[in-house]
């Protein structure tokens, strides 16, 4: 959904944030479970998801894409936020 929104809104930065978030998640899972490196990578992914959220809001406010697409992308970002925030070490205890 986010990639579709980035395309519809012609927002290369939104797409770049999506790529970075995915890359950081992959990098995190490449490290040992419960390691500081895994936690740092997943924390970076979570921070980048915040950037995705801001991009979705900008697309909505600027009416850069159909409302239905924006809503679906927002739900996808919200779901990613919840899932990534539950990974060990992402949020402070």
pLDDT at 72: 97
pLDDT at 91: 87
DSSP assignments along 29-46, one per residue: HTSPTT-HHHHHHHHHHH
pLDDT at 86: 93
pLDDT at 92: 80
- Going residue by residue through the chain, which has 93 residues, state the pLDDT in tens, using 9 for 90 and above: 899 999 999 999 999 999 999 999 999 999 999 999 999 999 999 999 999 999 999 999 999 999 999 999 999 999 999 999 999 989 886
The whole-angstrom separation of Cα 72 and Cα 2 is: 8
pLDDT at 18: 95
Q: Are 49 and 81 in contact (CB under 8 A)?
A: yes
Long-range CB pairs of 31-38, under 8 A, 24+ apart, other chains included: 33/88, 34/88, 34/89, 36/89, 38/88, 38/89
CA distances from residue 84 to 48, 55, 58, 62, 78 in whole angstroms, order as listed: 11, 18, 22, 28, 10
């Amino acid at each position: 959904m986010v990639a579709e929104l980035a395309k519809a809104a012609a927002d290369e930065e939104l797409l770049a944030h999506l790529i970075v978030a995915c890359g950081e998640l992959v990098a995190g899972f490449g490290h040992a479970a419960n390691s500081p490196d895994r936690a740092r990578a997943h924390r970076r992914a979570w921070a980048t998801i915040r950037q995705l959220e801001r991009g979705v809001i900008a697309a909505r406010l600027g009416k850069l894409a159909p409302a239905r697409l924006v809503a679906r992308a927002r739900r996808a970002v919200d779901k990613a936020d919840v899932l990534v925030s539950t990974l060990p070490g992402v949020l402070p205890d």
